[in-house]
Chain A
């Protein structure tokens, strides 16, 4: 019966190790809830946000610098107040988080594909190729990730005409953050692959004549993905911070489509003059988003670690 089959599945999920661990961890539950709120607010910004901050025709400059709603000069229509152009800050944060999250997730996916691919090849092929890839990884590890991202962004800025740059700034950013983060994945996957490649199921696959690519992807990969998912979750938080840092430095996304980092940078000019809300709320949103994703990642790492069970 389909109903009982579905119920059975639900039951299995409910009793799964991970779910059990999740139910026992209030921190994980709060983190998950906050992440959900942030991601939901960001994803559905066009429908949920009270205003559209990018429709310049709907902005009213005379509403500029309105303080948050609960202060004396505040207005109910602008819960978190407005910025220098009269944009609703809550809406700007929701749209900004959308870009921050989008860039973060895309950069992590890019890092992951690159890192896992290179790690698999490195671990499975071994020899000179392995040595080469790992030395490149070592060299990259000696630079801070932000420096590599800055370098890539700077080169793109110099190489592309200005008009084109604004259009593809987001993609350059994804590439820059993605490239700066692949090493962790590659090292982890290579380590696991070195262990897996000599196991009997791999030898069996080789004996029946499967190609190296098929063995790596179909047989080895599923067995090395566990740690990768943990790294990826924590990396999302780092990637969002890197994006915010770059945007804060003015080399990230252009102010016409501001991410959280850009909002913080713009608001920073008004911090000393009393309009604290323009920078504090995007900053708080960034902290909540990154912290909750990080806590989720921490919990996932502990939950998947057999030594801690």
Chain B
């Protein structure tokens, strides 16, 4: 940026600041920090929680969650099922994209055609949709392949992009992220949302300004939002303590107690709908990274049960998580539809029982296997894995830990190059199907079993999961969801560890609404 341009920008910023200051008590900047940066500005490219949460400020969807995570109208004002496989959405009139172009049915049809492009990773949010048909400028019909009980919840991450803008900027296609392709849409955003993304300097900051022409009302008063990704835990907390940022939405567990005691700060407690668990290779004929040759011990339910009961979840909660977790017996968190407390009863650890089970299965002296872990993704991920190595060692198992950054870790486990691995699963749709389908349904090339990396394959379980995809009777469907969760639990297909709690810390003068889907919304933020 030349000096002249920088000067002009500074003057513009000063003028803007003065303009906002003219309305007393109504203008404020929210400086928000978290660990990770977004991957792209293209809303259809990467299925990544941080990216979605930032882009949801600029891009909107047909329906959205309210504060209680119930569906409410957004770009669609109403909808009804004409037939079980044909849903009609009436679109909001008078909505404009940030570049001034009007929002119409063409944009919905275009966005559907765009999100299903194979180079993107967000197809799951339109799964079961066969076609989106324009009826008139403000009406679309969504044609389904079969009944879709979670259609609306899926649609909360189906972002709508302006067709005219995409055509004008030659961004009709999603960037090919794998080969690091950049397009205009991966570097610029143009939605209908509550905030306009002004600049994105990767790994440095994102600057957003409130959209004054937004169709809805901002509940808070943040007219400007500056998001700063700060990788280091200590630096992020120091930035909050020194007043450089107003809000931090992912706190290192060891610092929460101290932040609670700081008179300048307040801590907003809340759960995250993410469950952390260990997956086991139940497919390979011979277990990798193991001294057991010619067979795979994880195919034996007794071995899987031994791994499960040897884990002391309460101690992990108390020492490693410092109280910021809920020990888990099933793979979905309390806020997820399908969860009940009765299903999630954690049995006390039983090392002797684990030893006995291993002996029965033919491993009286235990055996060796590898545990793959990320070290920068979940709260205290590497520390938890280290603790597991110790707990399993007491049952006689020799575990080799391989902790590495998420990028190399995820590539390794997606190639099935593992014997056991740690994964955390957040549920964007707040419905257990999202977990059972991705994690336990027999793997296909599509959304089914997309993260079933242990390659569990259980026809009975598959039948339950498939039935819950299309069952429209809410009661019957709840039973199907719970049966599937119980089957996963009682077959010990996974080793669930805990559901994450996710407190946020902010200055005393800031207030906002906690979001358990790890997607803070600045429109709720008030700075007094």
Q: Which residues on B sit within 8 Å (CB–CB) of A60?
A: 390
Closest chain A residue to B387 by CB distance?
Answer: A61
Task: From known contacts A56-B389, A256-B401, infer whether A62 and B255 are also in contact, taking CB-CB under 8 Å.
Answer: no
CA distance A61 to B257 in the complex (A): 20
Q: Does A203 contact B (CB under 8 A)?
A: no
B83: CB under 8 A from chain A?
Answer: no
Contact A162 B404 (CB under 8 A): yes
A274 at the interface (CB under 8 A from B): yes
**Separation of A246 and B257 alpha carbons in the complex (Å):** 31
In this complex, what residue of A is CB-closest to B408? A162
Residue A88 CB within 8 A of the other chain: no
Chain A interface mostly: loop
Task: Report A-chain residues with C-beta under 8 Å of the C-beta of B252.
Answer: 269, 273
Question: Is the pair A61, B233 in contact by a Cβ cutoff of 8 Å?
Answer: no
For the complex, count residues of A whose C-beta is within 8 A of B: 23
Instruction: Flag if B404 contacts A84 (CB, 8 Å).
Output: no
- Kindly list chain A residues whose C-beta atoms are within 8 Å of the C-beta of B47: none
Q: Is A64 within 8 A of B254, CB to CB?
A: no
Interface string of A221-259 (1 = CB under 8 A from B): 000000000000000000000000000000000001000
- In the complex, chain B residues whose CB is within 8 Å of the CB of A272: 234, 237-238, 254-255, 258
A59 sits at the interface (CB 8 A): yes
Contact yes or no, A273 B258, CB < 8 A: yes
Out of B255, B383, B399, name the residue touching A85 (CB < 8 Å).
B383
Please tell me if the beta carbons of B258 and A64 are within 8 angstroms of each other in the complex.
no
Question: Is chain B's binding surface mostly helix, strand, loop or mixed?
Answer: helix
| Binary flags per residue of B53-94, CB closer than 8 Å to A gives 1, else 0 | 000000000000000000000000000000000000000000
Query: Which residues of B from 398 to 432 have beta carbons under 8 Å from A?
Result: 399, 401-402, 404, 408
Q: Which residues from A are CB-within-8-Å of B394?
A: 57
Given A256-B401, A274-B258, A61:B312 Cβ within 8 A: yes
Contact of A57 among B319, B387, B390 (CB under 8 A): B390
Considering the chains assembled together, what is the distance between the CA atoms of A256 and B254 in angstroms? 22
A65 x B258 contact (CB < 8 A): no
| A269 B234 Cβ-Cβ under 8 A | yes
Say yes or no: is A140 at the interface (Cβ < 8 Å to chain B).
Answer: no
Bound-state CA distance A64–B316 (Å) is 10
Distance between Cα atoms of A84 and B402 in the complex (Å): 18
Known: A56-B389, A56-B393, A61-B387. A268 touches B234 (CB 8 A): yes
Residue of A nearest to B257 (CB): A273
Residues of B within 8 A of A110 (CB): none
The B-contacting residues of A in range 207-228, CB under 8 angstroms, are: none
CA distance A163 to B370 in the complex (A): 12
Within 8 A of A (CB), among B243-289: 252, 254-255, 257-258
List residues of B (310-351) whose CB comes within 8 Å of A's CBs: 312, 315-316, 318-320
For residue B386, CB closer than 8 A to chain A, the reply is: yes
Chain B residues positioned under 8 Å from A65 (CB to CB): 319
- Name the residue of chain B whose CB is nearest to the CB of A270: B254
User: Assuming A61-B391, A162-B408, A269-B234, is B254 touching A275 (CB within 8 A)?
Assistant: yes
Contact call B319/A61, Cβ cutoff below 8 A: yes
List the B side residues contacting A268 at CB < 8 Å: 234
Rounded to whole angstroms, the CA-CA distance of A55 and B390 in the bound complex is 8
Q: Is the CB of B390 within 8 A of A62?
A: no
A57-B315 contact, Cβ under 8 Å, with A162-B404, A273-B257: no
Cα of A269 to Cα of B390 in the assembled complex, Å: 21
**A49: shortest Cβ distance to chain B, in Å?**
18
The answer to whether residues A56 and B234 also contact, given A61-B316, A84-B383, A269-B252 and a CB cut-off of 8 A, is no
- In chain A, what residue has the closest Cβ to B370? A163
The distance in angstroms between the C-alpha atoms of A162 and B393, with both chains bound, is 24
Closest-CB distance, B380 to chain A (whole angstroms): 9
Q: Are B320 and A61 in contact (CB under 8 A)?
A: yes
Name the A residues within 8 Å of B254 (CB-CB): 269-270, 272-273, 275
B233's closest neighbor in chain A, by CB? Answer: A269
How far apart are the CA atoms of A117 and B404 in the complex, in Å?
40
Report the Cα distance A59→B392, complex, angstroms. Answer: 11
Q: Please, how many angstroms separate the alpha-carbon atoms of A64 and B320 in the complex?
A: 8
Contact between B255 and A273, CB atoms less than 8 A apart: yes
Are B234 and A61 touching (Cβ within 8 A)? no
**Residue of B whose beta carbon sits closest to that of A162:** B404
The one of A61, A270, A271, A273 that contacts B390, using a Cβ cutoff of 8 Å: A61
Q: Among the interface residues A59, A84, A256, A273, which one has the most CB atoms of the partner chain B within 10 A?
A: A273
User: Are the C-beta atoms of A85 and B408 separated by less than 8 Å?
Assistant: no
Q: What is the distance, in angstroms, from B384's C-beta to the closest C-beta of chain A?
A: 10
Name the A residues within 8 Å of B312 (CB-CB): 61-62
Chain B residues with CB under 8 Å of A61's CB are 312, 315-316, 319-320, 387, 390-391
Which of B318, B319, B408 is packed against the most chain A CB atoms within 10 Å? Answer: B319
B386 — which chain A residues lie within 8 A by C-beta?
56, 85
- Please indicate the chain A residues that have their CB under 8 angstroms from the CB of B383 in the complex: 84-85
A162 and B405 CA atoms in complex are apart in Å by: 12
Q: Check A84 against B319 for contact (C-beta < 8 Å).
A: yes
A55 to B399, CA, bound (A): 11
Give the docked Cα–Cα distance between A163 and B418 (Å): 13
Question: In chain B, what residue has the closest Cβ to A271?
Answer: B234
B390 touches A56 (CB 8 A): yes
Query: Which residues of the other chain, A, contact B316 by a CB distance below 8 angstroms?
Result: 61
Across the interface, which residues of B come within 8 angstroms of A84, CB to CB? Answer: 319-320, 383
* CB-CB nearest in chain B for A163: B402
- Bound-state CA distance A46–B108 (Å) is 68
Inside 8 A of B257's CB, which chain A residues have their CB? 273-274
Top 3 A-B residue pairs of the complex, sorted by shortest distance between their CB atoms: A57-B393, A273-B254, A64-B319
* 22 A–B contacts, CB within 8 A, in A order: A56-B390, A56-B399, A57-B390, A57-B394, A60-B390, A61-B312, A61-B319, A61-B387, A61-B390, A62-B318, A64-B319, A84-B383, A85-B386, A85-B390, A86-B319, A86-B390, A163-B402, A272-B234, A272-B237, A272-B258, A273-B252, A273-B257
- In the complex, besides A61-B315, A162-B402, A269-B252, 6 extra interface pairs with C-beta distance below 8 angstroms are A56-B393, A57-B390, A61-B320, A61-B387, A86-B319, A273-B257
